[in-house]
Structure 1
Amino acid sequence: MDNIISGQALFLFLCFILLCFLIFTTAISRRRSSRGASTLPPGPPRLPIIGNIHLVGKNPHCSFADLSKTYGPVMSLKLGCLNSVVISSREAAREVLSTHDQILSGRFVNEAIRSINHHDFSVAWLHPSSPRWRLLRKLSVTQLFSPQRIEATKALRMKKVQELINFMSESSEREEAVDISRATFVTALNIISNLLFSVDLGIYDSKNSSVFQDMVTGVMDSIGNPDLANFYPFLRFLDLHGNGKKFKGCSERLFKVFRGFYDARITEKSSRTDDRDVSSSDFLDALIDLNQGDEAELNIIQIEHLLLDLFSAGTDTNSSTVE
């Protein structure tokens, strides 16, 4: 009986502490909001603690469009602890994306990304004004996305698409169902892996491709999944939804794969007596040159994060779009 009473007392005490904490944070939030209210666009009234989260709904774009009819094309919303500004008109969007693009070109960093400090290295999250972002962008454009490189890799892309067609034809002849998402993922994976490492990482009938897909999908899902810590940063240490743990685990497994290719290429270069043909060089060779030069411009950590960006954007996105 005493144990039950002591347990109830502990529970009530914890509830009291939590209530005091919420009241304190709400008071601080209100004070900050009142100080900056004159600089914020108009917006709907805010509830304590949750702000305007209850107004977002299952279809945020529809909710924002409805709210803009009342509060205008530029309105402010309080999402938990975060102040947000919503743009709902063509003119306002042009002002944001064209006139003030440098000021407003930053990107919100969610808690999954913060779990490995990916925002400090990623070309997708670095600010466009930073020297590191300009270096990564220049490297990607010249080595992957220039008209000359795109034309030079045309035959590779055609070959991989033909392999996909052949696989689907053979599956049809055997009257076997085809998982379009997985098949297109293998195709995209092999295109990207050949551009970066000059090897195929995926096989249509192999489970290895499925494992790699699980890692990439895990990275993308953990970024896109809802997370209370995105709205209440003081909860980040709890990782309530497991997004940080999932993102970190999948990323580290991918980093291990990338490091394996990197170390193997370094070993190959050190044992080679003749220079490698420039026409056969791939993206990994360019990264190694930037890392091994007298004035190294990229370290291995930055290389791993760049490869994570390229694999995630080039495989999961394409397969999801085709599906």
Structure 2
Amino acid sequence: MQFMSMELSSSSSSCFLFLLFIVPFLYFLKVAATTSLAASTKRPRLAPGPTPLPIVGNLFELGDKPHRSLARLAKAHGPVMSLKLGRITTTVVSSPDAAKEALQKKGRALSGRWVPDADRVLGHDRVAVVWLPPSQQWNNLRAVMRTYSFAARVLDASQGLRRQKVRELISHVRGRTGRAVDVGGAVFDTALNLISATAFSSDLVSLDHHSDHSRRGFKEVISGIMEEVGKPNLVDFFPLLSPIDPHGRRRKVTKYFKQLFGMIDDMIDDRLKLMKQQKNDTSSVSSDGCDLLDELLRSQLDRPILRSLLADYFIAGSDTSSVTVGWAMAELLRSPSLMAMARAELASVVGPTREVVESDIPNLSFLRAVVKETFRLHPTSPLLLPHRAEADVELGPYAVPKHSQVVVNVWAIGRDESVWEDAEAFKPERFLGSEVDFRGQHFELIPFGAGRRMCPGMPLADRMVHLTLASLIHSFEWRLSGGMKPGDVDLTEKFGVTLALAVPLLAIPLPVKE
């Protein structure tokens, strides 16, 4: 009994000691597990999306029209969707509310840029405002662009130059009365000359294509850069392939940029010589009548920055107007009743003989509705330029990891059936009496983006598109070439740097009937 008592006592002590240590340990494990579970429950996860394949991820989901493919996937996975494109984690935004959160509310954290490999040439990506991350240098360059190019007072002062270039376009088209005109091509040349005249006080191309070889070369270089950068590139999805450059995109773009920079350098050097001569001739140089290059030289920008800034003016500015006017004319030629309404409004506001001027535009409500509807259905940059997360951030309940890519599908937003009635139809009248605009405040219509990375050239594009389109409609009656009927107009898209018509629009200008 005593032995048993001692045994029980010893056993009780052991149990006590066991419980003394194990209970706190189990409690600690429970707390840790609960904390871990709570943390895992609260920690945001990536947005839903299609299951990625090994290595390639979701690349095969994109196809040759990624804006359409991503819009279709968003219907299944939601307005904030995650994909794995090769090695790159990508969040795709496809609704006005999600776009507002990404570009405005979380705009600072998502204000970086994802730079295509083909544009990482000759240091261009390290000084170009379009690719620079948010920084003091980026802020300074944006201020330079606003001050000398896109401020309202500057644009008001340069109205005469835009009127002159559009007048030259109308004269060129009038010389082809009764013959087919490549509408987009003629407007592209006009936009290129507008930028050139603004920057250098000279034209780069002749609308009749009789310009000298060096000036034709400038246009070919710009077109070559846009074509190569707009093509798919495996390096953008598998950065380890960068040294190989499997498609040769960077090699080709490097060649084009060397030519472009060389041409710009020649113009800068010629201007510096002229300014030196003027300084020797007089003690002061008047700024009256000076062009953009004069202003930028006086800003004392470093040569690489100045060169890239001017290059971006041409690359970014030459296509927006021509692509938008081309889409608008195609849609109007498909709908003779809409074309008639636009012509009737112009006849009422402008009159039968006077040319259209920019001060007429606020009074042309239907024309402005046509442009808005064109931006809605055919945004020039359907996925905008990709953003890069500068920090870990959340969109709604979903995580966007630092250094990942964020794409805003404005094409999908423009065709969102929950936002737009009869979303696939071209109906300018939907904007009559509507306050919705494309200047970055209404996220259902953001062809130029919104927030910190909104396109700085929007004010110029706004004026140029309206003036050019109004002048073409007002100055001529238009007929389709080759006996085509309105329903035969081909609206097939060609995806690239911009979303252009795959088949150039050929239309015949005819004299306006009195």
Q: List per-residue Cα deviations over 1:81-135 (Å, max 9, x = no partner).
A: 11111223332222111110011122211110113332211111112x3111111
Could you tell me how far 1:182 is from its partner in structure 2? 3.3
In structure 2, the residue corresponding to 1:83 is in which secondary structure? strand
| 1:277 equivalenced with 2:293 (yes/no) | no
Q: Which residue of 2 aligns with 1:220?
A: 226
Checking the alignment, whether the CA contact within 8 Å between 2:204 and 2:219 is kept in structure 1 is no
Q: Per the alignment, do residues 70 and 165 of structure 1 end up closer, same or farther by CA in structure 2, a change over 3 Å counting?
A: closer
- Using the alignment, how far apart are the partners of 1:189 and 1:223 within structure 2? 19
Q: Contact 1:185/1:213 (CA < 8 Å) preserved in 2?
A: no
Deviation at 1:321, TM superposition (A): 2.8
Change (3 A) 1:221 1:279: same
Residue 315 of structure 2 is aligned to residue 309 of structure 1? no
**In 2: Cα distance, 1:44 partner to 1:64 partner:** 11
Q: Distance in 1 between matches of 2:94 and 2:158?
A: 40
Letter paired with 2:86: G
Between the aligned partners of 2:225 and 2:129, the Cα distance in structure 1 is 16
The C-alpha deviation readout for 1:205-246, integer Å capped at 9, x for no partner, is 325454322111111112111011111111122222221122
Shift in Å at residue 70 of structure 1? 4.2
The corresponding residue for 2:160 is 155
> Quick one: higher RCO (CA 8 Å, sep 6+), 1 or 2?
2
**Matched residues, number:** 278
- Secondary structure of the corresponding residue to residue 77 of structure 1: strand
Bigger radius of gyration, 1 or 2? 2
Relative to its length, the structure with more strand (as a share) is: 2
Q: Is it true that 1:252 corresponds to 2:255 in the alignment?
A: no
Question: Given that residues 217 and 316 in structure 1 are in contact (C-alpha distance below 8 angstroms), is that contact kept between their aligned partners in structure 2?
Answer: no
Residue in structure 2 matched with residue 87 of structure 1 by the alignment: 93
Match of 1:233 among 218, 239, 242: 239
After superposition, the Cα gap between the structure-2 partners of 1:156 and 1:62, relative to the gap in structure 1 and judged at 3 Å, is closer
Q: Tell which deviates more after alignment, 301-310 or 48-57.
A: 48-57
Change (3 A) 1:177 1:69: closer
SS of the residue 2:242 aligns to? helix
Gapped runs of 5+ residues in structure 2?
1-42, 327-514
Give the match for residue 267 of structure 1: 273
Report if aligned partners of 2:87, 2:238 keep a CA contact under 8 Å in 1: yes
Tell me which amino acid in the other structure corresponds to 1:52.
Answer: N
- Confirm or deny that 1:299 pairs with 2:275: no
| Structure 2 residue aligned with 1:287 | 296
What is the CA-CA distance between 1:38 and the residue it aligns to?
6.6
What secondary structure is seen at the aligned counterpart in 1 of 2:90? strand
Q: Match of 2:191?
A: 188
| Letter matched to residue 199 of structure 1 | S
Q: CA deviation at 1:42?
A: 2.9
SS at match of 1:237: coil
AA aligned opposite 1:281:
C
Q: Which residue in 1 is equivalent to 2:115?
A: 109
2:174 match: 169
* Alignment correspondent of 2:102: 96
Contact 1:57 1:63 in 2 (8 A): yes
Quick one: which amino acid aligns to residue 142 of structure 1? Answer: T
Moved more, 215-224 or 40-49: 40-49
1:52 aligns with 2:58: yes
8 Å contact from structure 1 (residues 182, 210) kept in 2: no
Alpha-carbon contact 1:56-1:63 (below 8 Å) kept = yes
Matching residue within 55, 64, 68 for 2:70: 64
**Distance of aligned partners of 1:65 and 1:185 in 2 relative to their CA distance in 1, 3 Å threshold:** closer
3-state SS in 1 of match to 2:288: helix
The percent of aligned pairs where both chains have the same amino acid is 38
Deviates most, 88-97 or 66-75: 66-75
2: CA distance between counterparts of 1:157 and 1:67? Answer: 42
TM-score under structure 1 length normalisation? 0.80
Deviation at 1:261, TM superposition (A): 1.1
Contact 1:220–1:312 under 8 Å retained in 2? yes
Please identify, of 50-59 and 194-203, the stretch whose mean Cα deviation from structure 2 is larger.
Answer: 50-59
Name the structure 2 match of 1:122.
Answer: 128
Aligned partners of 1:62, 1:256: CA distance in 2, in Å? 38
Matched to 2:316, the amino acid is A
CA distance in 1, matches of 2:153, 2:141: 18
What is the rounded CA distance, in whole Å, between the counterparts of 2:113 and 2:255 in structure 1?
23
CA distance in 1, matches of 2:68, 2:203: 43
8 Å CA contact retained: 1:216, 1:316: no
Instruction: Using structure 2 for the length normalisation, give the TM-score.
Output: 0.51
Aligned residues of 2:204 and 2:216 also touching (Cα < 8 A): no
Unaligned runs of 5+ in 1: 1-36, 292-297
1:278-321 superposed Cα distances (whole Å, 9 cap, x missing partner): 12111111221122xxxxxx210111100110011121332233
Q: Deviations over 1:27-64 (max 9, x none)?
A: xxxxxxxxxx9742233322111111122234434433
